[in-house]
Structure 1
């Protein structure tokens, strides 16, 4: 018996990892809804535009796509070179609204995979500070919270820390109420159109150090199969997990260093 066609929503499908994710599932025969801020030619079954800074736009999008989806791959994000408000509203608040709004539209056994970042490293130590951000559920509250933070702390890291913390806390409730798993994928530096923005905001020297340590930056082709796995029945008992996809750069930091061979 033929398997039913999978139904996938990819948010941030216009370029980079999101475009590669949408194209991958489309080539595999899935019905793919590609969502992005701008028009694009990413291979997909259908395309919609949505500004993740606009809560009403997210509501309108979700109200018009129906239910029975198998996977939400939420890949959209902006780098730290963007205004702080935009970074938090897209990477955290817009993601939160999209994910929570999609839960009842996903079938039992479905999944959410959100792309975070290894820039979220250390989120466990910042939970007390991030509590206020997780309590902020509209743009004004998010901006008010950020106004009280140390302006020297990278807002991109904050946004991804909040994304990981939110997904980790959401996962048990999403599983119990909807039968939907929620996980995050945290890439290291990846060859995408916004890599230059990350070199500007994080420092090219730092990213070059990562590259030298593991041999190269990732490509979208390194990340997409991990999104596919976490969204598949093969990962049916993986929930509330943040999976680093960074060539092994971060792991030794929490293990006391690297072994020499």
Structure 2
């Protein structure tokens, strides 16, 4: 148990990393609001449903949950096997609307953590390409932007790249106006119910190669402690960062072959 109960909103709490995150805080003795598209039995003090594809659904929920929350963990996400519009509306636009809407409801010293992905690798080179998406604040504009993109570029990667860039852009203002930190966590392949969807969209041989390189896929137990750290006071001077939690498999892609020992 913690010495002082904290109030945590976990979005995407119905399964996978989100369910594990909600359970982690609940087991610590925190007051957890578990939010998902469908009712679920994730351990939490409160449960709410929301359709993250719909701005009105997000606004309605935020309008009635009240203030004085300590952290938001936005873990909701849909894989690249879903329709492109849903991928962008949940992974990017829904995240944008939920996080900005939560800012006035968070206490000074609070934290927002969004789960992105190592599939966003290369986001630094796509900032200009994603300008139209990053300027979009409604679903119609998001879909209009996507209609003009290369259909062969993975929309899941686009959604997570935009999520990381948005978080980094939001972080300075959120800190200065609300005293709230904003960070992202980028897991590698993780053993969750939607892993097979990622195998379908990214290629099972690709994920198997990742697994062979580092020995295994991640489990939710590997990811949740990093989310919890960024959501807590121990990380009070960490802001505008994207933390890879991938067992180290991405690093050689960025800096070259590993040093042989």
Structure 1's unaligned 5+ residue stretches are none
Deviation at 1:43, TM superposition (A): 0.3
Q: CA deviation at 1:213?
A: 0.4
Helix, strand or coil: the match of 1:132?
Answer: helix
Q: Which residue matches 2:253?
A: 253
Aligned-partner Cα distance in 1 for 2:251–2:62: 37
Q: CA deviation at 1:148?
A: 0.4
1:232 aligns with 2:228: no
| 1:69 lines up with 2:77 in the alignment | no
Runs of 4+ in 1 over 6 A off after TM superposition: none
Secondary structure at the counterpart of residue 129 of structure 1: coil
1:113 aligns to what SS in structure 2? strand
**Cα deviation code 1:120-152 (max 9, x no counterpart):** 000000011111101111011000000000000
Corresponding residue number in structure 2 for 1:22 = 22
Cα distance in 1 for partners of 2:148, 2:236 equals 40
Structure 1 residue 224 displacement after superposition: 0.3
Give 1:161's aligned residue. Answer: 161
3-state SS, counterpart of residue 206 of structure 1: helix
Q: How does 1:24-103 map onto structure 2 within 5 Å?
A: 24-103=24-103
Q: CA RMSD in A?
A: 0.7
TM-score, with length taken from structure 2: 0.99
Q: CA deviation at 1:3?
A: 3.5
SS at match of 1:174: helix
Q: Which residue of 1 aligns with 2:203?
A: 203
Q: CA deviation at 1:79?
A: 0.1
Q: What is the SS of the residue equivalent to 2:128? A: helix
> How far off its partner does 1:4 sit?
2.8
Tell me the secondary structure at the aligned position of residue 43 of structure 1. Answer: coil
Q: Distance in 2 between matches of 1:69 and 1:232?
A: 12
2:147 matched residue in structure 1:
147
Match in the other structure for 1:184: 184
Between Structure 1 and Structure 2, how many residues are aligned? 260
TM-score by length of 1: 0.99
Aligned match of 1:6 = 6
SS in 1 for 2:150: coil
What is the match of residue 117 of structure 1? Answer: 117
* Alpha-carbon distance, 1:259 to partner: 1.2
Gaps of 5+ in 2: none
